A and B are shown apart, each in its own frame.
Chain A
Amino acid sequence: MINENDPSTLTTSGRLLNYNEAIKSGLETGLTFTKLMDQLIKTHDADELVAAATQLADFKLDSDYVTFPHQYSNADYYLLFMSRMLELHDQGKHVMVQSRDHHEELTQQLTPLGDRGTFSFRVETSENGGVFYRERATGQSLFYLNLDRKMFRFNSHALTQLFIIDLHDTVPADTVKASVQILVDFARYLKEDYGYSVDFNVLDAANQQNYAVRSADLPAGVVDRLFVAAAKNEYMLTNGVNGNGAQIQLDRNVVVDIFNNQLEGQPEWVLTVHDDDQKVSWFDILLRYPFMRDWYLENLDDLEIVSDPLIFS
């Protein structure tokens, strides 16, 4: 009896045919790959771009019979995807993709930030899948992206460490703002055009955004410290409108509230930022007001804004 799956039972020509089929299918895979690459690099249609990226994200180029010695990693396709997505929204100039000379690997720079930050994606190896967008020198993962699950999550800890602490003395606030805006725009396109679930976290400028702080039951001393610091800087921390927290009116009608969001049961202290145009986020406050930045960093153990605990732990 001939079993096609068992080479020992096949005739010589049968074996050759099988071998040939395997090579054909391996080449077919290669061709599909080149088509997807074409699509990823050249298409002017955002839908096709997302489709190509989603397929390439977990594409297996090698098969048993056909392997390709020169390959980019899956992480690199994300980088291409990101810059193409920006390009399709006329923001292609805001990022620079660089390939390494001696091996196939891509890195990216945010144009305003230049060589003070070099970024690439790192594939998450656990079952969750997805990738982290990392600054290579510091290892800070600024956001998580999962094309299959249409998920995008910013990481408050990394954004703070990189932009509010590490680059604070060397990079002007406006430059940081412009750099971060590129990431926000990228996330916004995914949310608005493809219905991604996006957590903008500290970058969220919407007035209704509640930034939850790490110590859900915030020690009173933390707010007291802001009260004293504000007074030294000619601002007044007042009682909150709802009577269970505090409020500080900054410039141009920007108001920061810090209060317990739960009137009963387990406390849940949060920060909010209100402004007329809904353009100011907590991150902006940290960039613009040195005394708020000092207060936040000095009390970071209690105040750090919570990121998605399922992704960043």
Chain B
Amino acid sequence: MENQEQQASAADVLTQAIANKLDYLSTLQAAVQHGDDRQVYELLDQARYYQEIKKTRAARTVNHLAELVDNIHPQISHYLSDNLIDYLGHVYPFFYYEEYTTGRFHIYFGNWWDRRLFGDLDVVSVRFNFDQTEYQKLQQSFELEAQHQRLNTARIEQISSESEALQKLMDAQSVRDNQKTQLREQLKENSQKSSMPWDTSKIKDERQQIVDQLTELADQDEKALNAHKAIKENDDKILVLSKEDTILNYEKQSIRDAFDDFEHFEAHNQSLYADYLNSLIGKSEGGVKTND
């Protein structure tokens, strides 16, 4: 008897648990059917919703119901992306998104030539996952702006002066050729000097000096010989760097146009979830229903 009761209550508990799940799923289903993205977001992460939107601690205990739909996140993301990207298009007019596989989105910064792949958009969490390397370059170039510098200014200058030195080396070929002729003359004279024992070391020193100078000139000749190629390689390096500077400049300008400065941009990114959901609440309160 007791056993039976236990059995019955166990069934009740399970039935209730299943009912909770069914209830969760049917609520979610209805929200999708009514195009109520706000509710979908609430159901996907109630704790976050209560904390960031209702500004209260989540009243209910954590129920893990959202885990029920973990394996259909790509479809959910695909569904939610429509309205989210629409919204983002207004706030971040310089970001472009590409759904490279169902529900997963690459972020591109700008529509200029060779714009950068800037990270991923996490639609379910309403969050940008920026590529850290690219993001830091942007941040750094904002910092450098105060000093009227671009990210690659220093390196471009360094490579340019390297090229200039190489060019000088090439231009000075005839000067070196003259020097070599003179030095070889001196070498000849040196070897013809009668060598008194007390002079030997002096003549030897002199000879060594001339040989050293000739070696030095030969080294420069070799460098000059390869200079043309090296200058061309430097030009290619400078092109890559100026291109990056140009892209960063466009990125900075875009951020300034939309947010005034980098700090405001970052602040907006921080509050993106709350801002978006509040905009959805605002829409439904305004009586605009998309799905009737």
Chain A residues packing against B (C-beta within 8 Å)? 221, 223-228, 231, 236-239, 246
If A231-B249, A231-B250 touch, whether A237 touches B112 (CB-CB below 8 Å) is: yes
B111 touching A238, Cβ below 8 Å: yes
In the complex, the chain A residue whose C-beta lies closest to that of B242 is A228
Q: Report if B236 contacts A (CB, 8 A).
A: yes
Number of interchain pairs (Cβ within 8 Å): 35
Question: Cα distance A224–B236 when bound, in Å?
Answer: 10
If A221-B239, A225-B239, A228-B239 touch, whether A236 touches B250 (CB-CB below 8 Å) is: yes
If A227-B246, A231-B246, A231-B250 touch, whether A236 touches B239 (CB-CB below 8 Å) is: no
Q: A221-B236, A239-B111 are in contact. List 13 more A-B contacts (CB 8 A).
A: A223-B113, A224-B114, A224-B239, A224-B243, A227-B113, A227-B246, A228-B242, A228-B246, A231-B249, A231-B250, A237-B113, A239-B113, A239-B115
In the complex, the chain B residue whose C-beta lies closest to that of A258 is B113
Question: Cα distance A238–B236 when bound, in Å?
Answer: 21
Question: Cα distance A221–B243 when bound, in Å?
Answer: 10
Closest chain A CB from B152 CB (angstroms):
12
Closest chain A CB from B76 CB (angstroms):
28
Contacts of B236 in A (CB 8 A): 221
Chain B residues packing against A (C-beta within 8 Å)? 111-115, 236, 239-240, 242-243, 246, 249-250
Question: Cα distance A228–B240 when bound, in Å?
Answer: 10
Question: Cα distance A239–B240 when bound, in Å?
Answer: 18
Top 4 nearest A-B pairs by Cβ distance?
A237-B113, A227-B113, A231-B246, A246-B113
Contacts of A227 in B (CB 8 A): 112-114, 243, 246
Question: Cα distance A237–B113 when bound, in Å?
Answer: 6
Contacts of B249 in A (CB 8 A): 231
Residue of B111, B113, B242, B249 ringed by the most chain A CB atoms within 10 A = B113
Residue of A231, A236, A237 ringed by the most chain B CB atoms within 10 A = A231
In the complex, the chain A residue whose C-beta lies closest to that of B246 is A231
Question: Cα distance A238–B239 when bound, in Å?
Answer: 17
Contacts of B113 in A (CB 8 A): 223-224, 226-227, 237-239, 246
* A interface majority secondary structure: helix
Question: Cα distance A221–B236 when bound, in Å?
Answer: 8
B111 touching A228, Cβ below 8 Å: no
Question: Cα distance A239–B115 when bound, in Å?
Answer: 8
Contacts of A238 in B (CB 8 A): 111-113
Question: Cα distance A239–B247 when bound, in Å?
Answer: 13
Question: Cα distance A221–B235 when bound, in Å?
Answer: 11
24 A-B pairs within 8 Å (CB atoms) are namely: A221-B236, A221-B239, A223-B113, A224-B113, A224-B114, A224-B243, A226-B113, A227-B112, A227-B113, A227-B246, A228-B239, A228-B242, A228-B243, A228-B246, A231-B246, A231-B250, A236-B112, A237-B112, A237-B113, A238-B112, A239-B112, A239-B113, A239-B114, A239-B115
Contacts of A224 in B (CB 8 A): 113-114, 239-240, 243
Question: Cα distance A221–B233 when bound, in Å?
Answer: 12
Contacts of A237 in B (CB 8 A): 112-113
Question: Cα distance A223–B246 when bound, in Å?
Answer: 14
In the complex, the chain B residue whose C-beta lies closest to that of A224 is B243
Contacts of A228 in B (CB 8 A): 239, 242-243, 246
Closest chain B CB from A165 CB (angstroms):
22
In the complex, the chain A residue whose C-beta lies closest to that of B247 is A227
Question: Cα distance A225–B239 when bound, in Å?
Answer: 7
Contacts of A221 in B (CB 8 A): 236, 239
Closest chain B CB from A236 CB (angstroms):
6
In the complex, the chain B residue whose C-beta lies closest to that of A227 is B113
Question: Cα distance A238–B96 when bound, in Å?
Answer: 13
Closest chain A CB from B268 CB (angstroms):
24
Question: Cα distance A169–B251 when bound, in Å?
Answer: 38
Question: Cα distance A224–B249 when bound, in Å?
Answer: 15
Contacts of A236 in B (CB 8 A): 112, 250
Closest chain A CB from B280 CB (angstroms):
32
Closest chain B CB from A234 CB (angstroms):
12
Closest chain B CB from A226 CB (angstroms):
8
Contacts of A223 in B (CB 8 A): 113
In the complex, the chain B residue whose C-beta lies closest to that of A245 is B113
In the complex, the chain B residue whose C-beta lies closest to that of A246 is B113
Contacts of B242 in A (CB 8 A): 228
In the complex, the chain B residue whose C-beta lies closest to that of A247 is B113
Closest chain A CB from B117 CB (angstroms):
13
Contacts of B246 in A (CB 8 A): 227-228, 231
In the complex, the chain B residue whose C-beta lies closest to that of A237 is B113
In the complex, the chain B residue whose C-beta lies closest to that of A220 is B114
